[in-house]
């Protein structure tokens, strides 16, 4: 892995973000640019153009709006800026990040109707269609694409078609999928898509972005419930002079531009998807061989992040397991599932199959050191192919 200082090595991040980044992405931040510098304005313009292209759009139908803050800031920007004053949002929930959408809407006092499914369940499309009718005057449908709680991939193309047929806008939180799971914004009837710099494009934290259907965005005049999160005003500022309305994260943008170039060199979204899928397959094969069991059925599992159930041995302690792996230079993630004890391992970032094999060796050493007994996994079946 990359070394930033002699004798010092980053731990490998098997997390959903922030992620392990390339040396060249880190090095891109080793310069200062003013926010009104011509070079910086051109850099922002190129980032926006490349993001729209990643969404499969080249006809001017979509715009990229960069927003300071984490990805959740951009999620809140979409809700607070694009839902009309008398509007109602149907939120499809099957994990913690769908629940976060509901919390944002409650705080903003925007009318909404949660449609809740179990965390290990793909949304039932017939139930979604019924909810669009029963909820009444739904103006927006919102869903998470890759629900990072479990790694499940939700059927956004089918849900988008239902939203369009109902005359509602369609909002997709693609935080953990954009850049690594192929999608076409127009084909999925998406009006607003949100992701973040520090996910599958492999940049560093500092900003999120919204890909917005231009016609839908222009209809939101006067809807904004916030000054700093006003999506339409942010877009207009970028269009007028290429500048952010407030101080931009210049170094994070420099890193992100380099990350976009590296994504293109890897073969674009398809190339990155192939590497992440190989990471996932190596991980799941190895974890099954060790005796770990995935939380999700294989048919519903995406290749971005995988939740594994705790071993049944009462000697297992996640805190001890995590600490031992951390000492060995590998960082995993605690679980977020409400109905089972799980931990999560991400397959994204600047990691490769060799890194996954190294992690698996470290896990084997750790369970031996901790004296944990693992039984044969209870779930088998073919791996999923992400929707």
Reported as a pLDDT band with limits 50, 70 and 90, residue 382 is very low
Res 175: pLDDT: 97
> Would you say residue 268 has pLDDT above 90?
yes
Closest CA to 70 of 257, 204, 180: 204
Q: Examine the domain organization and report whether 170 and 297 are in the same domain.
A: no
Q: Examine the domain organization and report whether 219 and 286 are in the same domain.
A: no
> Would you say residue 67 has pLDDT above 90?
yes
Does residue 387 belong to any structural domain of this protein? no
Does residue 32 belong to any structural domain of this protein? yes
| Spatial separation of the C-alpha atoms in residues 366 and 385, rounded to whole Å | 31
Res 379: pLDDT: 44
> Would you say residue 6 has pLDDT above 60?
no
> Would you say residue 282 has pLDDT above 90?
yes
| Spatial separation of the C-alpha atoms in residues 46 and 32, rounded to whole Å | 18
In 35-87, DSSP assigns E strands to 62-68
Strand partners, 173: 144, 194
Q: What's the CATH code of the domain at 293?
A: 3.90.1150.10
Last residue of one domain, picked from the residues 238, 265, 292: 265
Q: What's the CATH code of the domain at 151?
A: 3.40.640.10
Per-residue b or e along 174-205, where b marks 16 or more CB atoms closer than 10 Å to that residue's CB:
bbbbbbbbebebeebbbbbbbbbbbbbbbbbb
Does residue 337 belong to any structural domain of this protein? yes
Closest CA to 63 of 179, 235, 241: 235
Tens of pLDDT, residues 326-367: 999 999 999 989 889 999 999 999 999 999 999 999 999 999
Res 133: pLDDT: 87
| Spatial separation of the C-alpha atoms in residues 36 and 34, rounded to whole Å | 5
Model-level pTM? Answer: 0.93
Q: Examine the domain organization and report whether 76 and 190 are in the same domain.
A: yes
Reported as a pLDDT band with limits 50, 70 and 90, residue 8 is low
Range of the domain at 310: 12-16+268-370
Does residue 375 belong to any structural domain of this protein? no
| Spatial separation of the C-alpha atoms in residues 189 and 89, rounded to whole Å | 16
Q: Examine the domain organization and report whether 199 and 326 are in the same domain.
A: no
Res 377: pLDDT: 52
Does residue 379 belong to any structural domain of this protein? no
Does residue 233 belong to any structural domain of this protein? yes
**How many Cα atoms sit within 13 Å of 354 on the Cβ side?**
2
- 3 state SS for 272-290: HHHHHHHHHHHHHHHHHHH
Q: Examine the domain organization and report whether 301 and 210 are in the same domain.
A: no
> Would you say residue 1 has pLDDT above 60?
no
Res 386: pLDDT: 46
Tens of pLDDT, residues 68-124: 999 999 999 999 999 999 999 999 999 999 999 999 999 999 999 999 999 999 999
Does residue 381 belong to any structural domain of this protein? no
Q: What total of structural domains would you count in the chain?
A: 2
Res 112: pLDDT: 97
Handedness of CA 300, 168, 269, 100 (dihedral sign): negative
Does residue 385 belong to any structural domain of this protein? no
Q: Examine the domain organization and report whether 292 and 261 are in the same domain.
A: no
Res 380: pLDDT: 43
Q: Examine the domain organization and report whether 88 and 103 are in the same domain.
A: yes
Q: Examine the domain organization and report whether 236 and 311 are in the same domain.
A: no
Q: Examine the domain organization and report whether 46 and 190 are in the same domain.
A: yes
Q: Examine the domain organization and report whether 189 and 47 are in the same domain.
A: yes
Last residue of one domain, picked from the residues 248, 265, 282: 265
**How many Cα atoms sit within 13 Å of 248 on the Cβ side?**
27
* Average pLDDT for the chain: 93
The Cβ of residue 206 has, within 10 Å, a number of other Cβ atoms equal to 21
Q: Are 62 and 217 within 8 A, CB to CB?
A: no
Tens of pLDDT, residues 24-60: 999 999 999 998 899 999 999 999 999 999 999 877 8
Tens of pLDDT, residues 358-368: 999 999 999 99
Q: Examine the domain organization and report whether 275 and 249 are in the same domain.
A: no
Q: Examine the domain organization and report whether 230 and 320 are in the same domain.
A: no
**Per the omega criterion (within 30 degrees of 0), is the bond before 18 cis?**
yes
């Amino acid at each position: 892995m990359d070394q930033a200082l002699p004798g010092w090595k980053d731990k490998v991040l098997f997390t959903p973000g922030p992620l392990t980044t390339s040396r060249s992405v880190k090095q891109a931040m080793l310069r200062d640019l003013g926010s009104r510098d011509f070079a910086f304005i051109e850099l922002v313009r190129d980032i926006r153009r490349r993001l729209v292209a990643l969404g499969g759009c080249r006809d001017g139908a979509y715009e990229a709006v960069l927003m300071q803050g984490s990805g959740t800031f951009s999620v809140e920007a979409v809700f607070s800026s694009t839902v009309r004053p008398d509007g109602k949002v149907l939120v499809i929930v099957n994990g913690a990040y769908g629940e976060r959408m509901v919390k944002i809407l409650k705080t903003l006092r925007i009318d909404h109707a949660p449609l809740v499914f179990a965390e290990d369940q793909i949304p039932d499309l017939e139930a979604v269609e019924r909810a669009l009718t029963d909820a009444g005057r739904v103006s927006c449908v919102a869903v998470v694409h890759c629900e990072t709680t479990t790694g499940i991939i939700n059927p956004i193309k089918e849900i988008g078609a239902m939203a369009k047929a109902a005359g509602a806008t369609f909002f997709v939180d693609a935080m953990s999928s954009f850049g690594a799971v192929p999608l076409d914004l127009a084909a999925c009837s998406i009006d607003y898509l949100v992701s973040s710099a520090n996910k599958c494009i492999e940049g560093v934290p500092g900003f999120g972005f919204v890909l917005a259907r231009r016609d839908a965005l222009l209809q939101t005049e006067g809807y904004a419930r916030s000054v700093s999160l006003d999506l339409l005003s942010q877009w207009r500022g970028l269009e007028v002079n290429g500048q952010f309305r407030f101080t931009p994260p210049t170094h994070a943008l420099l890193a992100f531009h380099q990350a976009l170039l590296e994504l293109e060199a890897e073969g674009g979204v398809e190339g990155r998807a192939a590497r992440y899928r190989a990471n996932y397959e190596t991980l799941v094969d190895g974890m099954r061989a060790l005796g770990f069991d995935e939380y999700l059925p294989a048919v519903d599992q995406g290749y971005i992040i995988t939740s594994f159930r705790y071993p049944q041995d009462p000697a297992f302690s996640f805190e001890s397991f995590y600490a031992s792996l951390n000492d060995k230079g590998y960082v995993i993630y605690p679980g977020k599932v409400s109905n089972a004890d799980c931990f999560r391992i991400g397959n994204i970032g600047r990691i490769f199959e060799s890194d996954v094999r190294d992690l698996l060796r470290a896990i084997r050493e750790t369970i031996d050191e901790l004296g944990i007994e693992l039984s044969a996994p209870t779930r088998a079946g073919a791996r999923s192919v992400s929707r």
